[in-house]
Amino acid sequence: MLASPGAETSLRAIAREAGVGIGTLYRHFPTRESLVEAVYRDQVVRLTKGAHDLLAGEAPAVAMRRWMDLFGHWVATKNGMLDTLPALIESGAVGHARTRDALLSAISTILDAGRTAGDLRPDVTAEEVAAALIGIFTVAHQSGHAVTADRLLDIFLDGLRPQRQL
């Protein structure tokens, strides 16, 4: 619900969507900011844990592509929190630097595994991947844009693969 543009985002609507009473929601999240903070932190944990979980069952290049989808979901979730998130960052409740470090670590984990396996380029940094992903999701989420995020992510992953020598 927080991720749905234009959706009703009152705490009452969120409680209804979650199938709990408003009192239960207020006991756990007394303010909208506390709810946004919890969702934000949960999404960051999912991204960092997701890198390890994906690598446990997939080749690094496949894990990278699936992690990109997780990142896209996180970006969409953040879009639903844009009215509250800046205040949380300013107050220190959500640490931008901590989030950045956690995400770069997750990307590095997959890149390192890919380098070792030989299916991801050794010269690409986590910062470059993060910048490219932000660009991809920014362009793909603009209304009226004909290019889909999935298509751009597939093209980007092809660029992350080592070039074969002829």
Range among 18-27, 35-44, 47-56 rated most confident? 47-56
Domains of the chain, by residue range, sit at 1-30, 32-160
The dihedral built from the CA positions of residue 57, 60, 62 and 67, taken in this order, carries a sign that is positive
| DSSP E strand boundaries for the chain | none
**CB under 8 Å to 47, separation ≥6 — which residues?**
67, 70, 71, 74, 102, 103, 106
Contacts of residues 155-158 at CB distance under 8 Å and 24 or more positions apart, as own/partner, are 156/68, 156/132, 157/61, 157/64, 157/65, 157/68
Domain 32-160 annotated CATH 1.10.357.10: yes
Structure pTM? Answer: 0.74
Taking only the tens place, the pLDDT of each residue in 103-139 is: 899 999 999 999 999 999 999 999 999 888 888 887 7
The dihedral built from the CA positions of residue 94, 80, 45 and 158, taken in this order, carries a sign that is negative
Taking only the tens place, the pLDDT of each residue in 92-103 is: 555 567 778 888
Neighbours of 39 (CB within 10 A): 21
Q: Comparing C-alpha atoms, which of 156, 161, 71 is closest to residue 115? A: 161
